[in-house]
Amino acid sequence: MEKIKVGILGATGAVGQRFIQLLENHPWFQITELVASETSAGLPYQKICQWKLNKPIPEDARHLVVKNITSELACQILFSGLDATVATDIEMNYAKAGFPVISNARNFRLEKDVPLLIPEVNPDHLQLIKKQKANRQFSTGFIVTNPNCATVPLAMMLAPLHKKYAVEKVLVTTMQAISGAGYPGLPSLDIMDNVIPFINGEEEKIESETKKILGELVKGEIVFAQFDVSAMVHRVPVFDGHLLSVSIKLKKKGEIPEIKNVLASFGSVPQKLNLPSAPKNPIIVKNENDRPQIRLDRDAGNGMSIVVGRIRPCPVFDVKMSVLGHNTIRGAAGAAILNAELLKMSGFFS
Amino acid sequence: MEKIKVGILGATGAVGQRFIQLLENHPWFQITELVASETSAGLPYQKICQWKLNKPIPEDARHLVVKNITSELACQILFSGLDATVATDIEMNYAKAGFPVISNARNFRLEKDVPLLIPEVNPDHLQLIKKQKANRQFSTGFIVTNPNCATVPLAMMLAPLHKKYAVEKVLVTTMQAISGAGYPGLPSLDIMDNVIPFINGEEEKIESETKKILGELVKGEIVFAQFDVSAMVHRVPVFDGHLLSVSIKLKKKGEIPEIKNVLASFGSVPQKLNLPSAPKNPIIVKNENDRPQIRLDRDAGNGMSIVVGRIRPCPVFDVKMSVLGHNTIRGAAGAAILNAELLKMSGFFS
Amino acid sequence: MEKIKVGILGATGAVGQRFIQLLENHPWFQITELVASETSAGLPYQKICQWKLNKPIPEDARHLVVKNITSELACQILFSGLDATVATDIEMNYAKAGFPVISNARNFRLEKDVPLLIPEVNPDHLQLIKKQKANRQFSTGFIVTNPNCATVPLAMMLAPLHKKYAVEKVLVTTMQAISGAGYPGLPSLDIMDNVIPFINGEEEKIESETKKILGELVKGEIVFAQFDVSAMVHRVPVFDGHLLSVSIKLKKKGEIPEIKNVLASFGSVPQKLNLPSAPKNPIIVKNENDRPQIRLDRDAGNGMSIVVGRIRPCPVFDVKMSVLGHNTIRGAAGAAILNAELLKMSGFFS
Amino acid sequence: MEKIKVGILGATGAVGQRFIQLLENHPWFQITELVASETSAGLPYQKICQWKLNKPIPEDARHLVVKNITSELACQILFSGLDATVATDIEMNYAKAGFPVISNARNFRLEKDVPLLIPEVNPDHLQLIKKQKANRQFSTGFIVTNPNCATVPLAMMLAPLHKKYAVEKVLVTTMQAISGAGYPGLPSLDIMDNVIPFINGEEEKIESETKKILGELVKGEIVFAQFDVSAMVHRVPVFDGHLLSVSIKLKKKGEIPEIKNVLASFGSVPQKLNLPSAPKNPIIVKNENDRPQIRLDRDAGNGMSIVVGRIRPCPVFDVKMSVLGHNTIRGAAGAAILNAELLKMSGFFS
């Protein structure tokens, strides 16, 4: 089988680097184009990229000549790791030009005709693409987004609970890794020996995106889920991995062992289709009383599983627990790649 | 005025070291006895103590010969920084022997006849001492405790809100410093680049102590406050300072500006009596959207103020905010010293 | 080909865990025995091990029932990750009992008849085994050791320079990771926001082991290399990876480009034999002026390469540079496994 | 006595903030002017400064209206915390305009007629001021500089040894705190869990400045000290405090106890004059084998002492040791303030 040629928008940024790393030896996709705004066309990637991952640049990407957004691109789909400050126009233009754009940027996530996709949770939301193409007069192009890095583990954990018990209220406190802020991101003087109780716009994203993802598709439109979410976010001095402390009120009541079982047995379309980046267990439930821990558990399922633990009754609501997800894998580049895999298997790349 | 001679139980431990540091040049108290279990009597403090604070050992403590619990003590009151594993018997025996014991240990905090004191919050609970002496046939001795290091900032913040609005539900997520675990405490391999969602017994302490502190004294007994508290605790890689993310449901409703004002104007007996360790403002309210931060705000009021910020409406409850307290000062040694100051001014050291 | 059955001594310790991780799917070796002193026999490994690596316990080790040193062992060779406090007797007894013991412990490193082996540097030192067997009346058993974790990168870097230019003086300052101290190792209160200029016994090990490794085998005895080494060691707050800053005086003079080339082209027996754990390039030379960096370069060659950079003239000696090695891989478990691979190919496991 | 009015150039930067903190309640100096380039004149300091120190902005500075370099300044002397990229012209212009400029910037440190001053080491170098004024046609103005933050502890430690034994060769490896890079300085992604073996221009500064400071004034010119210095610098993940590992060859030989005594008894003009910022002991010698440690010892003498330990014979040279200095106090703002105190007592502010 010939591989699908893919391009990376924002190839030198933090998310772009993860795309390149995770697509190394991908069975279906092959990187043929790297696009970066800040560079003059014509230089090989390794010359212009300040590579920050601890494995070296994959061989095939190392020598690719970087292009800019005015160049012709020899690829079929685009992954976007663009910064939100520039993503709106660039992504829209590529979609208009016929490219499926699988984006990690926040810009189109809440648009009515754009899927905000977690393949295990809301694969049916891909039906919005048809509407999107019609609305916007796209031919073969379209935009599909993945959620914010802290929203992903929250929405994945809530999905099976909402289905079985109907979620009524959610209070979530996050402890988020520095890699979530990109590079250069947080000055070391600001975050070492410190916790910062603020990330600009993050609480709003978590509160709104979660309800879209868990919303229902009714007559071609998404009706947001009807529960209340309150998020309090923090930056903590860890490298990768967002840990969430969540307390939930449910409409129907469930016992703790049953809730654990509902989470641990969660699996969906990506697992059934055996998508290359799908983890065997989307949700791993730990029973040790001091897990999940960020450093020890963030790489579970190659960073594509979320890890849940300390599931116990809450004196105020019904159940509380800790939830962990790898922010630059399941919460960014890995999420987008899994989205692309589902799109391919669903026939959206024609 | 001659100073009151004081002794430190557990003088070589983390809390004991803070007692010694904070009592240097205290206007009312003078350390004359250092007691440590793990040492043979007869050696000067500086020879046996692995001092871990970044200011050197105060001169007067440096040369004091350390005693053990079988020694005669030439002091009038005792501060206890003892570990909970040994505090029960030792503190009880000293109280029986006539010493007021101002303890940071958890062992007697929930006893019915023992005050769990925050001088700004529940100074009237000192009336329990009379009962305690009668119950236990103490003569001049008694035990007074201060709360757990994470409970202190929570209870201080809730106190004025509970008085004005009546608290109904509280969800609190803590991010706690490594110094709270004492020495050697957490192995560096466990906490660097990590967050641990568990501290043994801590959630229970926060949930129960808060309700005792905010309880009312009715006919000589404390009736616990009648609201629900749910705590989720975490250890984070910072040195000092516990940060709490709190969401609160109130019975009477209040607007955010009024709530800020209620907190900022909080002051009580210690401020009126001008106690030496009392901060001018027990609660400092920050309006910047990224404060309090642990490193920048933990030393406010010499570590005796708590700092509150991000006060805003909660989509699930009524109000949410961040609360910071210095765990080894306001949450341990400083708390006990302020307790002793109130006891002195209230005539309990006769 | 049937795999060689191997056992791990000290299987629950930090080095033991790395052995288990690195031997997962090894083409020649298969773990069949796990030995730990602190446990009663009969429990599966996953029940008794506090696993601290961020990838999970390999499946085959997870369920192995741990034995103690009185048990019969169904394996052909033993890897020792034992603590130095107990290694002397245990390793000696297993060697007497017929087991080749591939040890990471320091106890026998300087014994006259025990090879202190780096396969790229002194494979001929394996001739000592014959003498060792004779001296100690061993039959099939023997002991082979690998150097201290900070010695390895120093000796590997010096080896080709010594051969070509003859080293005369070496001043080395190390910055060593916390994982080198094992678990629990350094309390977080001691090492966060700190550098400690002392590691017990470490400077002596570096100064003596380097000269044995680079020594010549003359009439069956090792004549230590005749240069002076002065080591100043430090513990720094990083997880893995020891960085060395080295200044060298050479007898014959060499230009910097030539020195770079001598280092970069270094390769030896393990590369020729294509041993499974041998890195393609034992020494990687970086030309960027800010490399090697611990976090970015420690995993080079799967942790088996050392990375050298900032090679430049020294105003006091001839050349100075930075040298990095992964302390728990190339400096411990990986070193021992490479030793075993060389032993196997050299016919020492009969 | 009326205080001398002082201004701070670069008042919002990292060094500027330290100036403001250290000058709070200074017995001789009072801040009356704050100058910052990046701001429009007219706003109070607290409005425009991102204050990064953990004690709050001193009251008197908080409300000072910040000026820019075109404003009239109502002060007698200027402290400069300017960035090197802009310091040359600004400092020169203020000196021309009649202001003594006490600068922390590197720009004029190696100028032949500018003192590079450590008051304990080379107070006689102030004689250069006369020449400077003549050369440059200054009236009352002049420029005096303090050394680089890593040079200070090295030069202070070497000074008494050079006087007694004559230094011949020095190899120094530094481990430097992140605060030395200013704000925003190092991205957290670059320095957490990492050591970086490079700081731009730093090695050259250490190698040249040390020889100027220890140089002799001969016929009004400084003859640089005639020994070799080789520096290898590193950035480590600590907040404040530069630790140096130093090995020294001496012309005359000295025993270790005598060397310790020479260092510990070092004291000079600032101590004799009892200058307000002068530490009682400029060099503190530790005998514990694991000191100095950055976190525990950087604040010695209020950050104005350097702390030396592990003094022992070197197998390659004569003596080796660890040396620690607080980089933003003794290595920057505190150094400049001590310089100003010496200038005042020496009658240079007329």
Prior bond of A292 cis (ω within 30°): yes
Architecture of domain D151-327: 2-Layer Sandwich (3.30)
Contacts of D298 in chain B (CB under 8 A): 54
Domain boundaries, chain A: 4-148+333-345, 151-326
Ranges of residues in chain B with a pLDDT under 50 are none
Using the predicted structure, report yes or no on whether residue A323 has a pLDDT greater than 60: yes
Q: What is the distance in angstroms between the Cα of D175 and the nearest Cα belonging to chain C?
A: 8
Contacts of B320 in chain A (CB under 8 A): 230, 232
Q: How far, in Å, are B183, B195, B336, C194, C241 from residue C236 at the CA level?
A: 19, 20, 35, 7, 10
**Maximum C-alpha span of chain B:** 61
Tell me the residues of C at the D interface, defined by beta carbons under 8 Å apart: 169-171, 173, 175, 192-198, 207, 228-230, 232, 234, 236-239, 243, 245, 247, 289-296, 309-310, 314-317, 320, 322
Q: What average pLDDT does range D171-200 have in this prediction?
A: 97
Per CATH, the number for B4-147+333-345 is 3.40.50.720
- The pLDDT assigned to D334 comes to 98
Is the CB of residue B332 less than 8 Å from the CB of residue B339? no
Identified catalytic residue from D49, D75, D149, D162: D149
Nearest Cβ partner of D54 from B52, B56, B299? B299
Residue type, D265: S
ipTM metric: 0.96
- The pLDDT assigned to B39 comes to 62
Dihedrals phi, psi of C96, to nearest 5 degrees: -60, -35
* Residue C156: CA count within 13 A, CB half-sphere: 37
Q: Please tell me which residue of chain A has the smallest CA distance to C292.
A: A54
- The pLDDT assigned to C55 comes to 87
Q: What average pLDDT does range A12-16 have in this prediction?
A: 93
For domain A4-148+333-345, give its CATH number from 3.50.40.10, 3.90.1150.10, 3.40.50.720, 3.40.50.920: 3.40.50.720
Q: Please tell me which residue of chain D has the smallest CA distance to C318.
A: D230
Using CB atoms, which chains have 3+ pairs under 8 A with D?
A: A, B, C
Confidence of residue D277 (pLDDT cuts 50, 70, 90): very high
Identified catalytic residue from C75, C125, C149, C326: C149
Contacts of C295 in chain A (CB under 8 A): 54
The gap between the terminal CA atoms of chain B, to the nearest Å, is 15
Beta carbons of C296 and A52 less than 8 Å apart: yes
- The pLDDT assigned to A350 comes to 76
Using the predicted structure, report yes or no on whether residue A219 has a pLDDT greater than 80: yes
Contacts of A194 in chain B (CB under 8 A): 238, 293-296
Using the predicted structure, report yes or no on whether residue A38 has a pLDDT greater than 70: no
Confidence of residue D20 (pLDDT cuts 50, 70, 90): very high
Contacts of A178 in chain D (CB under 8 A): 188-189, 192
Using CB atoms, which chains have 3+ pairs under 8 A with A?
A: B, C, D
Beta carbons of C230 and D316 less than 8 Å apart: yes
Matching fold, domains B4-147+333-345 and B151-326: no
Beta carbons of B187 and C189 less than 8 Å apart: no
Q: Please tell me which residue of chain B has the smallest CA distance to D53.
A: B296
**Which pair of structure tokens corresponds to residue A291?**
């897990």
Q: How far apart are CA D127 and CA C69, in angstroms?
A: 75
Q: Please tell me which residue of chain C has the smallest CA distance to A239.
A: C295
Contacts of A183 in chain D (CB under 8 A): 187, 189
The SS3 of residue D188 is helix
Contacts of C322 in chain D (CB under 8 A): 197, 232
Tell me the residues of D at the B interface, defined by beta carbons under 8 Å apart: 52, 54-56, 192-193, 295-300
Q: Could you tell me what percent of chain A has a pLDDT over 70?
A: 99
Q: What is the distance in angstroms between the Cα of C208 and the nearest Cα belonging to chain A?
A: 33
Q: How far apart are CA B324 and CA C150, in angstroms?
A: 42
CA dihedral (D332, D335, D340, D346) in degrees, to 10, reads -150
**Which pair of structure tokens corresponds to residue B243?**
């940060």
- The pLDDT assigned to C54 comes to 85
CB pairs under 8 A between A and B: 127
Per CATH, the number for B151-326 is 3.30.360.10
Place of tokens 């919460």: A331
A172, A245, A250, A290: best mutation site toward chain B, by most B Cβ within 10 Å?
A245
Ranges of residues in chain C with a pLDDT under 50 are none
Q: What is the distance in angstroms between the Cα of D184 and the nearest Cα belonging to chain C?
A: 18
Q: How far apart are CA A126 and CA A122, in angstroms?
A: 8
Confidence of residue A39 (pLDDT cuts 50, 70, 90): low
Q: Please tell me which residue of chain B has the smallest CA distance to A170.
A: B316
Radius of gyration of chain C (CA): 20
Q: What average pLDDT does range D259-271 have in this prediction?
A: 97
Identified catalytic residue from C125, C162, C242, C326: C242
Pairing status of strand B283-285 against strand B216-218: unpaired
Nearest Cβ partner of A192 from D14, D183, D239? D239
Using CB atoms, which chains have 3+ pairs under 8 A with B?
A: A, C, D
pLDDT tens readout for residues D328-346: 999 999 999 999 999 999 9
Contacts of A51 in chain D (CB under 8 A): none
Nearest Cβ partner of A238 from B173, B194, B198? B194
- The pLDDT assigned to A40 comes to 57
- The pLDDT assigned to A134 comes to 97
Contacts of C55 in chain A (CB under 8 A): 299
Query: Does residue A326 carry a catalytic annotation?
Result: no
CA A144 to chain CA centroid, Å, is 11
* H-assigned helices in D166-301: 188-191, 202-213, 256-264, 269-272, 294-297
From C266, C275, C293, C288, select the one nearest C335 (Cα to Cα).
C275
Beta carbons of D189 and A184 less than 8 Å apart: yes
Query: Does residue D75 carry a catalytic annotation?
Result: no
pLDDT tens readout for residues A61-88: 999 999 999 899 999 999 999 999 999 9
Q: What average pLDDT does range A179-206 have in this prediction?
A: 97
3-state secondary structure chain C: CCCEEEEEECCCCHHHHHHHHHHCCCCCEEEEEEECCCCCCCCEHHHHCCCCCCCCCCHHHHCCECECCCCCCCCCEEEECCCHHHHHHHHHHHHHCCCEEEECCCCCCCCCCCCECCCCCCHHHHHHHHHHHHHHCCCCCEEEECCCCCHHHHHHHHHHHHHHHCEEEEEEEEEECHHHHCCCCCEHHHHCCCCECCCCCHHHHHHHHHHHHCCEEECCEEECCCCEEEEEEEECCCCCCEEEEEEEEECCCCCHHHHHHHHHCCCCHHHHCCCCCCCCCCEEECCCCCCCCHHHHCCHHHHCCEEEEEEEECCCCCEEEEEEECCCHHHHHHHHHHHHHHHHHCCCCC
Mean pLDDT, chain D, rounded, equals 96
- The pLDDT assigned to A54 comes to 85
Q: For residue D106, count other CB atoms closer than 10 A to its CB.
A: 17
Beta carbons of B178 and C188 less than 8 Å apart: yes
Q: How far, in Å, are A180, D20, D74 from residue D71 at the CA level?
A: 43, 20, 10
CB pairs under 8 A between A and C: 19
